[in-house]
Amino acid sequence: MALKTGAEYIESLRSMKTRVYMFGEQIENWVDHPMIRPSINCVAMTYELANDPQYEDLMTAESHLTGHKINRFAHIHQSTEDLKKKVKMQRLLGQKTASCFQRCVGMDAINAEYSTTYEIDQKYGTDYHGNLKRFLEYIQENDLVVDGAMTDPKGNRGKAPHEQEDKDLYLRIKERREDGIVVRGAKCHQTGSVNSHWHIVMPTISMGPDDKDYAVSFACPSDADGMFMIYGRQSCDTRKLEEGADMDLGNKKFGGQEALVVFDDVFIPNEYIFMCGEYDFAGMLVERFAGYHRQSYGGCKVGVGDVVIGAAALAAEYNGCEKASAVKDKLIEMTHLNETLYSCGIACSSEGHPTASGGYMIDLLLANVCKQNVTRFPYEIVRLAEDIAGGIMVTMPSQKDFRSDLPVGRNGETIGDFCNKFFVGNGICSTEDRMRVMRFLENICLGAAAVGYRTESMHGAGSPQAQRIMIARQGNIQGKKQLAKDIAGIE
């Protein structure tokens, strides 16, 4: 089957029976819902660019399973060049959408599963790797979106999964059957869950023998019987529901999404199971997925950062202060921080290596360094953008005020007249355009888009301490001590 277009992807969602709830009600037509559609547009861009000859090299790859041209988001990395193209692709999409395009989690999940299932099979004689390869051929040939689902609600973080008072706080195997398993639980903060055709579920932490029922990984369609999603709120999200709020939206076309995904006794056939009780491999799968996903942030967040820098420079120009040395220096610092993140993403890709399965793994130490920087630098980039924009970014009236014809002045001036008069910039742009760039920055720095840029930079792919733990493990302090001993002459 040929690569889907963005329009074909959107139409494919309409045929699904995915259950979506928001504000306490079921959303029947969630594809066209004004709060959800921007996130669907983001995913559609991953299809549109794959069909654009200008971006074909980054957006597509040759499947090592079928030899066919496929979307890179469904590809198993076969070289360090593949790993670098992944990061470059993510930066491109961040530049095109200024938001989270939601397919990275699934791409990172299939790559982590590929090497892990191979090694499980080598130890236990299972056929999980065969299951995964057959599933991959299906999603590649049909050009489908797969969401990676790892984060459990966790409940009491001080207790292991089997120790929780409510056993469902980590997704678990409730029943084992001859033809499959029944699972129960939930995955939370799931990026792109509503917009995906399939989900790959993974454990969220390392596990011991008593947690066997929680060491489970599988694929299931997003509209599986017993599965549903409760849509997550974002800051300023209801602006999308307001009539005549075009200017107030900031990024009106694109956006991200997260949801709570509930598995209420969902049956999973054997052919879609990739781990079923092999608790000793749970940690490996988590570590590899986290590594891939931390690499991803050296691409996607950099692309969005490019747009933030551009918007801040535009705001400075519209404010009439683009020539001020302090403003120039802030833009330089923003660029320096952004390119540092990118260099980390490229570095961990360049230092990648093949696994036993043949799929390529990034350098885990450098991937964790990349994400550790991502937990810091976007916050500074946003701070500098807010500094350049000025307080007007969060105090301006609404679009309705700017366009109001209600007379309020002594000489018959309207509300709109006063808004356009007193919020004028340096005269090279309309007052409305100045307000649009301010709302755009507000949206990325503080609003709905901040979920996919600022806050996700902190918690996505693990919070800062998770990376520090991995850096401590992989930093080889003993080896560095020996280097010092050798040079200092200490035996």
Instruction: DSSP letter for 175, please.
Output: E
User: Quick check: is 445 catalytic?
Assistant: no
Question: How many Å apart are CA 108 and CA 86, to the nearest integer?
Answer: 10
User: Quick check: is 117 catalytic?
Assistant: no
Catalytic residue selected from 42, 188, 220, 300: 300
Catalytic residue selected from 100, 188, 370, 445: 100
CA 367 to chain centre: 16
Residues whose CB is less than 8 angstroms from the CB of residue 347 and which lie 6 or more positions away in sequence, other chains included: 363, 366, 370
Amino acid occupying residue 213? D
Catalytic residue selected from 170, 297, 342, 360: 297
User: Quick check: is 276 catalytic?
Assistant: no
Catalytic residue selected from 9, 46, 47, 104: 104
Cβ 195 vs Cβ 256: under 8 Å: no
User: Quick check: is 175 catalytic?
Assistant: no
User: Quick check: is 300 catalytic?
Assistant: yes
Binding-site sequence positions for FAD? 191
Dihedrals φ, ψ of 414, to 5°? Answer: -90, 170
Cβ 377 vs Cβ 338: under 8 Å: yes
Catalytic residue selected from 293, 317, 360, 375: 293
User: Quick check: is 297 catalytic?
Assistant: yes
Catalytic residue selected from 151, 191, 204, 431: 191
User: Quick check: is 293 catalytic?
Assistant: yes
Residues whose CB is less than 8 angstroms from the CB of residue 42 and which lie 6 or more positions away in sequence, other chains included: 97, 99, 100, 101, 102, 254, 255, 256
Question: How many Å apart are CA 447 and CA 250, to the nearest integer?
Answer: 9
Cβ 238 vs Cβ 81: under 8 Å: no
Catalytic residue selected from 113, 119, 258, 442: 258
Amino acid occupying residue 100? C
Binding-site sequence positions? 191
User: Quick check: is 100 catalytic?
Assistant: yes
> What is the C-alpha end-to-end distance of the chain, expressed in Å?
65
How does strand 172-177 pair with strand 20-22? unpaired
**What residues act catalytically?**
100, 104, 191, 258, 293, 297, 300, 456
